[in-house]
Structure 1
Amino acid sequence: MPHVTPTAELDVRFSDPKASAADWSAAAAQLRDAEVFWLTTVRPDGRPHVTPLIAVWQDDALHFCTGPGERKAKNLRENREVVLTTGAPSLSEGHDVVVEGEAVRVTDPAALGVLADAYVRKYGPDWTFTVGDGVFVHEAGEALVFRVAPRTVFGFAKGDPFGQTRWRFTQ
Structure 2
Amino acid sequence: MSDPVTRLDERFSDPGAQATSWTTAREALENAQLFWITTVRPDGRPHVTPLVAVWLDGALHFCTGPGEQKARNLAGNPQVVLTTGCNRWDEGLDVMVEGTAQRVTDRATLERLATAWAAKWDGQWQYQVTETGFSHNGADDVHVFSVRPAKALAFGKGDFTHTTHGFPA
TM tier, shorter chain? over 0.9
Amino acid at match of 2:72: K
Could you say which residue in structure 1 is the equivalent of 2:17? Answer: 19
How many percent of aligned residue pairs carry the same amino acid?
Answer: 52
Q: Is 1:163 aligned to 2:142, yes or no?
A: no
- The correspondence for 1:112, drawn from 110, 113, 118, is 110
What displacement does 1:125 show? Answer: 2.3
Q: How many angstroms apart in 1 are the aligned matches of 2:152 and 2:138?
A: 33
What displacement does 1:81 show? Answer: 0.1
Q: Is 1:73 aligned to 2:71, yes or no?
A: yes
TM-score of the two chains, using structure 2 as the length reference: 0.97
- The correspondence for 2:41, drawn from 40, 43, 50, is 43
1:37/1:55 contact within 8 Å kept? yes
Amino acid at match of 1:126: Q
Q: How many angstroms apart in 2 are the aligned matches of 1:24 and 1:65?
A: 25
- The correspondence for 2:53, drawn from 45, 55, 62, is 55
What displacement does 1:126 show? Answer: 3.0
Question: Which residues of 2 match residues 1-16 of structure 1 at below 5 A?
Answer: 3-16=1-14
Q: How many angstroms apart in 2 are the aligned matches of 1:88 and 1:166?
A: 19
Give unpaired runs (5+ residues) of structure 2.
none
What displacement does 1:140 show? Answer: 3.0
1:21/1:164 contact within 8 Å kept? yes
Deviations 1:103-150 (A, max 9, x none): 000000000000000000012323111111121011231210000000
Q: How many angstroms apart in 2 are the aligned matches of 1:110 and 1:152?
A: 27
1:4/1:60 contact within 8 Å kept? no
Q: How many angstroms apart in 2 are the aligned matches of 1:5 and 1:126?
A: 32
Could you say which residue in structure 1 is the equivalent of 2:148? Answer: 149
1:116/1:128 contact within 8 Å kept? yes
What displacement does 1:36 show? Answer: 0.2
RMSD across aligned positions (CA)? 0.9
Amino acid at match of 1:71: Q
* Secondary structure of 1:127's aligned partner: coil
Q: How many angstroms apart in 2 are the aligned matches of 1:38 and 1:30?
A: 14
Q: How many angstroms apart in 2 are the aligned matches of 1:35 and 1:140?
A: 23
TM-score of the two chains, using structure 1 as the length reference: 0.96
Deviations 1:52-74 (A, max 9, x none): 00000000100000001100000
Q: How many angstroms apart in 1 are the aligned matches of 2:164 and 2:119?
A: 30
1:62/1:148 contact within 8 Å kept? yes
What displacement does 1:51 show? Answer: 0.1
